[in-house]
Amino acid sequence: MKTRTHVINLTEAVLEMVLAEPVDAVNSGIQSQLFPAGHQLTEDSLLQLALSHIEFISILEPDYRSSAQVAIDAAVAAHRVMEIFSGADLSNPVMAVLFDQVLTYRSTQ
């Protein structure tokens, strides 16, 4: 199954979601890993995340869209990004990198 990565607030997390990235917690200045990437959320892990003051997690979300829909969504996102950057000087290397990154991010959301 196709998946995509999505950052969500802990309130949006539900059982059996899969972490896309490890979750670290800091206790008394010491950083330690709470859960590794690939961990499937359980009631216990959700409680532990809340009590560790974790607010946001990155999860792998099933992507049920057809290939055609993915292409349409990406095109709509790209059109909007180009509109936003229409007055930007993309010969400026920093602007060009920002444009690329925003385009990549928004096209894959």
Partner 1 sequence: MNQYLGERVIDNPLLVFPDIVSRILATLDDAEASLGVLVDFLDNEPDVMSRMVLLAEQSGLKYFEISNSGDLISLVGASRVRRWLLIDSIAAFARGHRYAGWEDFWRHSLATGVCGEELALYCTGGILPEMALVASLLHDIGQLGLFSRHVSGYLGGRGDAREGDAREGDAREGDAARPEPDFSGVDRAALSALVCQSWGLPDRICLAIRQQDAPDAASDDPLGCLLHVANVLTNALDLDGGEENRVTNLSSPACEKLGLIGGGSGARLDLMPVFGRITARVRHANILFL
Distance CA 103, CA 95 (A): 12
Which one, 67 or 86, has the nearer CB to partner 1? Answer: 86
Minimum CB separation of residue 93 from partner 1 in Å reads: 8
Residues 61/3, Cβ–Cβ less than 8 Å: yes
Residue 107 binds partner 1, judged by CB under 8 A: no
Minimum CB separation of residue 98 from partner 1 in Å reads: 5
Segment 79-98, which members bind partner 1 (CB under 8 A)? 80-81, 84-89, 92, 94-95, 97-98
**CB hemisphere CA count around 21 (13 angstroms):** 10
User: 46 φ, ψ to 5°?
Assistant: -65, -40
Residues 100/81, Cβ–Cβ less than 8 Å: no
Minimum CB separation of residue 11 from partner 1 in Å reads: 4
Minimum CB separation of residue 105 from partner 1 in Å reads: 5
Start-end of H helices in the chain: 43-51, 67-84, 93-107
Residues in contact with partner 1 by CB under 8 A are: 5-11, 13, 50-51, 53, 55-56, 58, 80-81, 84-89, 92, 94-95, 97-98, 101-102, 104-106, 109
